[in-house]
Amino acid sequence: MIDPLGRWAAERAPALVARAEEEAVSALRDALVSAALGGERARPAPPTPAPETHMPEPGELLWAYCVLSADDPSPDGVDRIEAAELAALVRSVPRSEYGEEPLRRNLNDLAWLEQVARSHEAVLEQALAAGTIVPLRLCTLYENEESVRAMLERERESLRGALDLLGGREEWGVKVLVDSARLSEAARSESGEPSLEGVGDGGAYMLRRRHERETRELADALARQVAEEIHARLADLALDSVTRPPQNRDLSGHEGEMILNAAYLVDGRRVDDLRATAGQLESEHANVGARVELTGPWPPYNFVPAGTAAIG
């Protein structure tokens, strides 16, 4: 029987989770705006007036995608600005849509945000296919061409160092998911069944509850062991690696329990080895229904050196 506190928690939990996610998305939007505008406007935004009260901001801004060597080609449909033997890929955007206040409002429109993010990513993928790039974070905006050139000249050494580091190397993402039921089955198989011989009903109940708890703990330990082994094997093939928290299942739509969410910087000549090892690891951990999902190559956001212009 659920006690009153438990019933209250069950009723309120979905609303509380939804509110927490809404606040997290709001914080992300504010961070994007702050980053796009150089960080100097990190104060909370004032209440947004109704759209019809806003006067359009005149003029244009430059949306920057990435930096590459001046010797490398550009994808079709974007402009480039060169300085210090580097080139920045840019496009003009209306200030009425991408200025501080319009941008803050637009970032509350998830459909708009998704479209902008996909467009940004598409340009990066085209540029990446043609050469080495230093990707710039979403919503990197400049006032004019002169400010872009000034950034290239000011950050020449760090950008050139990043291009040298990333040349001939690719970022690949790996997500490892396991089947929760098969993971529990493997844990139960390892732990065995408790002996209830000569134990009364009350004692048997307590033993079963303890065994269930120990089985869950064993399943968690088994999941960590699988994740650590897979990460170690793949990291051996990589020049660098990072791990991230597992994605929220409700937001990502993945099936199963995500036990590893990682990215690996791999020499281009070892990508086939990475693929083969991922497939082998999936087979080795079939008893827990492991799926090793390998995706890439991606713009190397995770491996651009800290402090590089407009990154982080």
DSSP conformational letter for 74? -
Taking alpha carbons only, the member of 217, 53, 5, 37 closest to residue 45 is: 37
List the chain pLDDT tens, one digit each, 312 residues: 344 434 433 444 444 334 434 444 444 444 444 444 333 322 233 333 333 333 445 689 999 999 999 999 999 889 999 999 999 999 999 999 999 889 989 988 888 988 999 999 999 999 999 999 999 988 999 999 999 999 999 999 999 999 999 999 999 999 999 888 887 787 676 655 655 555 555 555 565 566 566 667 777 888 888 999 999 999 999 999 999 998 877 666 677 889 999 999 999 999 999 999 999 999 999 888 889 999 999 999 999 987 665 554
Q: What is the pLDDT of residue 58?
A: 64
What is the enclosing helix (H) or strand (E) of 77? Answer: none
d(CA 25, CA 18): 11
| 16/108 Cα distance (integer angstroms) | 20
The whole-number pLDDT of residue 19 equals: 40
User: What is the residue extent of each domain of the chain?
Assistant: 49-167, 170-303
Cα separation values, 36 from 58, 80, 104, 137, 146, Å? 19, 19, 11, 8, 17
What are 155's two structure tokens?
């950050």
Partner residues linked to 91 by β-bridges: 63
Q: What φ, ψ does residue 181 adopt, rounded to 5°?
A: -65, -45
Mapped onto helix, strand or coil, the DSSP state of residue 83 is strand
Side by side, which strands form the sheet with 257-267? 240-244, 257-267, 169-178, 291-298
| pLDDT for position 60 | 92
Could you give the 3-state DSSP secondary structure of residue 288?
helix
Q: How far apart are CA 133 and CA 177, in angstroms?
A: 31
